[in-house]
A and B are shown apart, each in its own frame.
Chain A
Amino acid sequence: MYGNDFAATGDAGVPASDVAATSAGRTLLEQVEDAERELRSASERSVVGDDRLQDYFDAVINADQKIEPRDWMPDPYRLGLIRQIAQHAHSEIIGMQPEGNWISRAPSLKRKAILLAKVQDEAGHGLYLYAAAETLGVSRSDLVDQLLTGRQKYSSIFNYPTLTWADVGTIGWLVDGAAIVNQVPLCRCSYGPYARAMIRICKEESFHQRQGFEILHTLAHGTPAQRAMAQDAVNRWWYPSLAMFGPPDTASTHSEQSMTWKIKRFSNDELRQRFVDMCVQQATVLGLSLPDPDLRWNAERDHYDFTQPDFHELMRVISGDGPCNRQRLEHRRRAHEEGAWVREAAAAYAAKRAAREPAGV
C-alpha cells in the first residue's frame, strides 16, 4: 500500500489502474491483509518444542509463529526490538514537526482538516508504538529520555525542512510511501505486538498517504506557480527518501541477525529498489519528473536502474549535522520542559485523589 492502493478515482481525477503498483502481483495493502491472515492462522497452530527455552524460542521463530510479551526471549532479541520500536515511535513524534509546520497556513479548510488529522494520527501511532515497546519491559519515560538526550535516534528524513506547502504533499507521497514499503514486511515480524501494530498503522497510513498524493496531484495540475512548487519539492525530497532505506547492504550492520529472527525480511537495497519501481509510474500519473537523469528501465533486471542517494550525506544527517537536527530536538526538549509543571500537577492531583479515596474503590 502506501502510495499504490489508489483503487478509486478520487475527486482529483487520479486514474486508478495506473497507480496500482504491485509486488509479486499483490498490492502493498493486500500484503498487509495477507500478513493479518497469516498472523491469525499462526496463533491457531501449536509448536511442539523442547523444554529448553532457547529451543522453544527457535522453534516458534522457525514455525513462523509469534513471540508474545509473556514468552521467554533472548536478550539481544528483546534489546534489538526495543531499539527498533522506540526509533519508530520517536520518528512518529519528531515527524509531527515538519508537517505540523504547515497546519496554521494550510491553503484551504479541507486541507487544514486533513493535515491536522494526519498529525494527530502520528501522535496516536507514537502512543501505540510506545505501548508496544512497553510490552518488552521498558517504560515510555525512559524511551523519551533516550530520545531527548540523543541516545536513541529517529528517522533522519525529519531533519529536512518543509519549505513550501508542496513539501506536505511530497512527504505524503515519497516519505510516507518509503515508510510503508519499509513497514509492510514488518507486518509479518516475529514479535506479535509489533506485527499487529504495523498492520494497523499501515492501514491508517495508507489513508493519509492517499491524501498526500492528492495534494501533489492538485498542485501539479494547478497554476504554473503551483506546478513549479510541486516539482521543486519532489527534487528536494527524492534522494533523502531513497536514503530512508538505510545504508547499502554491503555496509549495513544489523541486518543478518534481524533476518534470522524474522524481524527484518528484506534487505535495504531490495526495499529501495521496490520503492523506486513503484514511484516511477506514480510520477508519470502526477506529471512530475524524478530528479535522476540515469533513471531508466532495465529489461534484463526487470527493474529500474537509478542513482543511489549520497550515503555520506545520510551519515552526516544521522550523526547530527542535517539541516534541522538541532531544531527538531530543541523543539521536543522545549515542549517537554515547558510541559513539566502540567505533568507534575496531574501527578499531584492523582496522588491527592488516591489518598482521599478509600482503598479498593
Chain B
Amino acid sequence: MTSVDYVLGLGDDALVAAQRLAQWCARAPELEEDVALANIALDQLGAARLLLTYAGELEGAGRDEDALAYLRGDREYRNCLLVELPEPDFAVTMAKLLFLSAYQKLRYEWLAAAGDERLSAVADKARKESAYHLDHASLWTVRLGDGTPESHRRMQDAVDRLWPYTHELFEGDHAALRPQWLSLVTAVLDEATLTRPADGGWAPGGGRQGLHTEHLSYLLAELQVLHRAHPGARW
C-alpha cells in the first residue's frame, strides 16, 4: 500500500520545482529559454497535479489538488530541500534541473514498473518528460561548463553549492538508485569539464519529514496568498 506521504513527496517535488522554474518567465537569458523553461515548468506542474490528486484520494479526507497545494503550511510539505532553494542565477537553475531531472527520471522509471497501478501510469507518462528535461539541463551544463571562464566558474560554483542537497534524494528505499544517478550526472559533468564534488561531507535533509529550509515558507506565501485571501471561493 502506497503511503500518502510518499506520493506527496513526489508531487511536492514537482510543484515546488514548477514554482521556481516559472520565476524565469519573461526574464530568461534568451527568448528560446523563456519558452523552454516555461515548458518544463508546465510538465512539472502537470505531474504535480496528477500526483496531488492521487495523494488526496489515498488520504480519503476529501482534499483535492488545490486543497493540498494551497492550504498546507511548510511543515506539511514533503518535497526535498533541493527544489526549494532559491535560484540566484541561471547556472544554479541548470544544476538543479540536472540533479532533479536525473533523479526524477530514475524514480519514475522505477515506479512505472512497480506495483501501484495508478502511480505507475503517472510515472510512465512523466518519465518521458523527465528524459527531455535531463537532456535540456545536460545541454546547458555542458555549454556553461565548457563555455567561457566566467560561465565555467558559475557552473562549478552551482554544482558545488547544490551537491550536498542531492544526498537527501536517496534516503531510505531509494538508496539503490544513487549509483545510477551518479553515472548519469558524472557523464554530464565530465563532458562539461566540471569537477564532481566529493561525497562524505555535509548532507542536509529533513524535507520528507516537513523540516525545510527558511526559503520554502516564502515560496508558499507567494503561491498561496490569493487562494487563502478568498476562503472557499471557486476560480
- B residues touching A (Cβ–Cβ < 8 Å)? 15, 18-19, 22-23, 25-35, 38-39, 41-42, 45-46, 48-49, 52, 65-66, 69-70, 89-90, 142-144, 146-148, 150-151, 154, 222-223, 225-227, 230, 232-235
Contacts and interface: CB of A to CB of B under 8 A. Distances in A.
Interface of A: 93, 96-97, 100, 103-113, 116-117, 119-120, 123-124, 126-127, 130, 165, 215, 218, 222-223, 225-226, 331, 334-335, 338-346, 348-349, 352
A127 B36 CA distance: 12
Nearest to A337: B29
Contact of A116 (B25, B27, B223): B25
B153 to A, nearest CB: 10
Closest 5 CB pairs of A and B: A339-B29, A345-B147, A345-B151, A120-B38, A342-B29
B49 A339 contact: no
A338 B29 contact: yes
Given A119-B25, A127-B35, A107 B143 contact: no
Contacts of B235: 107-108, 110-111, 215, 218, 222
Contacts of B154: 341
Contacts of A113: 42, 45-46, 49
Contact of A127 (B18, B26, B32, B148): B32
B160 to A, nearest CB: 18
B14 to A, nearest CB: 11
Contacts of A218: 234-235
A222 B144 CA distance: 49
B26 A105 contact: no
Nearest to B192: A349
Contacts of A334: 27
Given A222-B233, A345-B151, 13 more contacts: A106-B226, A107-B226, A109-B66, A110-B49, A112-B18, A120-B42, A123-B26, A123-B34, A127-B35, A331-B26, A342-B33, A342-B151, A346-B143
A107 B230 contact: yes
Given A109-B48, A342-B151, A335 B35 contact: no
A313 B94 CA distance: 44
Nearest to B65: A109
Contact of A343 (B18, B29, B35): B29
A226 B27 CA distance: 30
A93 B150 CA distance: 28
B49 A222 contact: no
A209 B78 CA distance: 36
At the interface, is chain B mostly helix, strand, loop or mixed? helix
A100 B26 contact: yes
Contacts of A225: 230, 233
A331 B28 CA distance: 11
A346 B147 contact: yes
Contacts of B150: 341, 344-345
5 contacts: A104-B19, A104-B22, A104-B222, A108-B70, A349-B144
A109 B226 contact: no
At the interface, is chain A mostly helix, strand, loop or mixed? helix
A343 B45 CA distance: 27
B205 to A, nearest CB: 26
A208 B148 CA distance: 40
B223 A104 contact: yes
A213 to B, nearest CB: 14
Contacts of B227: 107-108
A293 to B, nearest CB: 31
Nearest to B155: A345
Nearest to B150: A341
Nearest to B52: A109
Contacts of B232: 223
B35 A120 contact: yes
A349 B147 contact: yes
A342 B29 CA distance: 6
Contacts of A106: 226
Contacts of B22: 103-104, 112, 116
A107 B223 CA distance: 8
Contacts of B89: 338
Contacts of B90: 339, 342
A51 B189 CA distance: 61
A327 to B, nearest CB: 12
Contacts of A116: 22, 25, 38, 41-42, 45
B26 to A, nearest CB: 4
A93 B46 contact: no
Contact of B23 (A104, A108, A123, A342): A104
B217 to A, nearest CB: 15
B143 A109 contact: no
